[in-house]
Structures are given as C-alpha cells and as structure tokens.
C-alpha cells in the first residue's frame, strides 16, 4: 500500500509540473497582451502632452519662420553642444597638447631679436638705403646671414631674364616639380602648361614655388646649371654673404644678408619686366588638364596701398627665415631700398615697413609723403589678356 501511495503522489507531482510548464506561454502572452494597451495608452498620453495646444499653435504661426525653425532645432543643437563639450573638446585639447611647438627661426636661435632699435621693429634685420647714393638711412643687424625664403625668386627672375630665354615658350609642370615642392601649397597641378612669361609672373607676384622650380628646371643645362648661374650672378653683384642651392627659397640653405640683398634689388630694378610683374596686383591663368581659370594675387598687401609707390617687391616666408620682404619705393622723389628679414608675426613685416616709411617722412631725410598717383602697369609678352596688371601700387 505504501508503495502504491508514493507512486500516486509522484504521478500527481509530475502532472502539476507539466501543467505549470504548459501554462507559462499562455500566462506570458496574456501578460504581454495586457501590457500592450497600457504602453499604447502611455504613448498616447505622452504624444498628447507633446502636442502643442491651440494657443501655442497660434503663437508659432505668428512667429517668424526662421524663429520657429530655430526653436524646433533647439533641442538637437543643445544635444550637439553637449556632445561636443563632452567628446570633441577633450580631443581638441589633446591635439593641442600633442602638436609640436613652432620651430624657431635662425634669427631667434642666434638671438638677433634681442637687438634694440628706436622703432621697436619686430624684424630682427632691417636696412634702408638710398638706391642712387647707397646712403644708409636705417640699419639693424645688416650683415647677419640668414635664410631668405622666397626672396630667392628675385634672383631666379634675374637669371631667367638676363639669359634672354623666350617668354612665349610653353612650359609644363611635371612630376619632378611637384615632388620638389611637396608639402608646400601650390595651385599649379601636374600637367599645367603656361608660358615662361606666365611662370615668371606667378613666381614674382604670387610666390608660386612650382613656377619657380619650372623656371630653373627648364634652364639650358638643367637645374644644376641654373643654380650655378644664380651663384655666379651673386658674385658678380658683390653679394659675398649669399649662397643659393635651389630656385624657390624652400631650402633654408638659401641664405644672404640685408646688405647683399640691396645689391640684388638694385640689379633687378634695371629690368622693367621684373618691376612690372613683381608689383602686379593679380593674374588669372588656366590650370590643369581642364584649363580651369585660377586667380592669383600679390603676396604683398602694400602694393594696394595708395600711400606707397612701390617699384619692385618680393616677399618670403619659411619657418627658418621668418617673414621677409624687400622693396624699392619712391618717397617724394627719393628712391629707397628697404630690406626686412626674420620678422616675427604674420603681419609684422608690413607693420615694420609702415613704421619705417613714417619714420623717414617724419625726419629731415625726405619731404612729407604724398599719396602715390594711380598707374596701370602693362603685362609683358607671354601672358594672357586676363592676366593683365590692374590698379595703383
């Protein structure tokens, strides 16, 4: 009997377990079906709350369209700002911490910026001389030998011009020109075909590195012969502190002194084409295989200033050289050559030039300055009609 009783109990327990397992899906489905109406009711309630009331609709209709859009976009913009503050800001801060500090110029390394001058110039080297008499009007570290950056292109132009090479000859930007100027901004794509005159124009006015490299590469005998001609011309001019290794100025091994550069400016002034192209305001040339017209502008903003009458100019910059500029300017009938090297700050060389101009005007060296007369400098042969010179300097 006891055995049968235990067997009966075991059978009842198994039946109860089977019933409970079988009913579980039914129970869960029933609970879910009951939960769905509850959730839908909650969603409808939430939508009803979010739905604007009639008064709010009227106010939104009266509000300007842009204001209504801005109010709608406000939550999203807030979310973006929160995301930006939470995620992007630390990334920017980390990038700023990891960015290498700017490299000092040679003038900073040599301590030339510690030299005091009465005008408190930001350039470590400055020299102003009379073009005709060679009288020194202002001098600061004139014999310091420093990298000269794109002022190199003034010698490049002088060698090309005195070689008498045809300005109408078509020259093409090739892979060697691109590789030689890699890492530096240039809008002359590989395959761009321009005349030698156009390359010379862009090199002097817009400081185009690939244009200058093309001029050197296409010189009779190649780049080696061109660099040799540059150094030979420097010796002929008495530029004993000057050395060139390439025609663009990208190398810090292209070095000179302010005193030597006054000789270079004086020699370049003898060529009208260099004067005209270096002071041209802008030019448009076809670039690339599709011949897209691209506008180039002068890198020296002073050519647009009517208070300046600039006969020749060239700017330059690499980190080793700082900001540089050489100019020939006529002030009330007196022709002056100005050299500024290793200026600290993007616009400091222009500020230094203005200080020197005003200082010269305020002293008894020349009469007070008068605004330069408007003039139009014609383009030289080999340049397109759209690349003509424009306004006064």
User: Judging by beta carbons within 10 Å of its beta carbon (0-12, 13-18, 19+), is residue 165 exposed, middle or buried?
Assistant: middle
> Does 175 fall in a domain?
yes
> Does 135 fall in a domain?
yes
List alpha helices for 171-320, DSSP H: 175-180, 196-205, 209-217, 222-236, 258-268, 272-278
Whether 153 is catalytic is yes
Q: Which stretches of 34-150 are assigned E, i.e. beta strand?
A: 123-130, 136-140, 146-147
Secondary structure element (H or E) that encloses residue 109, with its range:
helix 106-109
Q: Looking at residue 390, what is its pLDDT?
A: 29
Mutual orientation of helices 222-236 and 152-162 as an angle, nearest 10°?
100
Q: Compute the mean pLDDT over every residue in the chain, rounded to the nearest whole number.
A: 80
How much is the average pLDDT of 35-53?
49
Tens-place pLDDT, residues 205-228: 999 999 999 999 999 999 999 999
Give the confidence band of 88 by pLDDT, cuts at 50, 70, 90. Answer: low
Whether residue 388 has pLDDT greater than 80: no
Active-site residue, from 105, 123, 195, 207: 207
Q: Looking at residue 69, what is its pLDDT?
A: 44
> Does 363 fall in a domain?
yes
Whether 251 is catalytic is no
Tens-place pLDDT, residues 254-290: 999 999 999 999 999 999 999 999 999 999 999 988 8
Q: Looking at residue 183, what is its pLDDT?
A: 82
Task: Please tell me the total count of domains within the chain.
Answer: 1
> Does 296 fall in a domain?
yes
> Does 225 fall in a domain?
yes
Give the confidence band of 39 by pLDDT, cuts at 50, 70, 90. Answer: very low
How much is the average pLDDT of 14-42?
46
Residue 300 structural domain? 120-371
Q: Looking at residue 93, what is its pLDDT?
A: 67
**What CATH number did the domain enclosing 329 receive?**
3.40.710.10
> Does 58 fall in a domain?
no
Active-site residue, from 122, 124, 140, 153: 153
> Does 214 fall in a domain?
yes
Active-site residue, from 124, 150, 343, 380: 150
Say what the pTM is. Answer: 0.70
**Is residue 257 within 8 Å of 145, Cβ to Cβ?**
yes
Q: Looking at residue 96, what is its pLDDT?
A: 58
Comparing 185 with 380, which gets the higher pLDDT? 185
> Does 9 fall in a domain?
no
Q: Looking at residue 288, what is its pLDDT?
A: 87
Distance (Å) of CA 337 to CA 125, 137, 151, 266: 14, 10, 14, 8
């Amino acid at each position: 009997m006891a055995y049968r009783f235990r067997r009966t109990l075991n059978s009842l327990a198994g039946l109860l377990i089977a019933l409970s397992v079988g009913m579980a899906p039914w129970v869960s489905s029933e609970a879910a079906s009951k939960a769905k109406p509850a959730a839908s009711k909650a969603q409808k309630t939430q939508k009803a709350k979010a739905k604007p009331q009639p008064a709010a609709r009227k106010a939104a209709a009266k509000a300007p369209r842009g204001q209504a859009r801005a109010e709608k976009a406000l939550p999203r913009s807030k979310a973006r700002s929160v995301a930006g503050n939470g995620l992007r800001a630390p990334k920017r801060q980390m990038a700023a911490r990891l960015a290498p500090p700017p490299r000092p110029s040679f003038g900073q390394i040599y301590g030339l910026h510690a030299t005091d001058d009465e005008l408190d110039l930001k350039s470590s080297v400055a020299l102003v001389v009379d073009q005709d008499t060679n009288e020194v009007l202002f001098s600061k570290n004139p014999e310091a030998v420093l990298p000269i950056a794109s002022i190199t292109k003034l010698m490049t132009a002088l060698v090309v011009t005195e070689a008498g090479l045809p300005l109408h000859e078509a020259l093409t930007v090739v892979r060697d020109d691109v590789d030689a100027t890699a890492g530096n901004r240039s809008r002359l794509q590989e395959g761009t075909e321009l005349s030698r005159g156009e390359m010379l124009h862009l090199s002097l006015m817009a400081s185009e590195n690939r244009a200058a490299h093309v001029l050197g590469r296409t010189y009779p005998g190649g780049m080696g012969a061109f660099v040799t001609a540059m150094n030979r011309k420097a010796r002929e001019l008495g530029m004993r502190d000057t050395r060139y290794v390439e025609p663009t100025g990208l190398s810090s091994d292209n070095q000179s002194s302010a005193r030597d550069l006054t000789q270079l400016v004086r020699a370049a002034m003898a060529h009208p084409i260099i004067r005209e192209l270096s002071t041209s305001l802008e030019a448009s040339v076809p670039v690339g295989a599709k011949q897209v017209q691209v506008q180039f502008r002068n890198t020296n903003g002073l050519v647009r200033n009517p208070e300046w009458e600039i006969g020749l100019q060239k700017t330059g910059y690499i980190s080793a050289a700082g900001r540089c500029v050489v100019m020939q300017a006529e002030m009330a009938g007196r022709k002056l050559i100005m050299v500024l090297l290793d200026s600290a700050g993007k616009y400091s060389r222009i500020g230094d030039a203005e200080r020197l101009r005003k200082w010269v005007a305020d002293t008894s060296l020349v009469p007070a300055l008068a605004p330069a007369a408007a003039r139009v400098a014609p383009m030289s042969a080999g340049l397109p009609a759209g690349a003509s010179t424009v306004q006064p300097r």
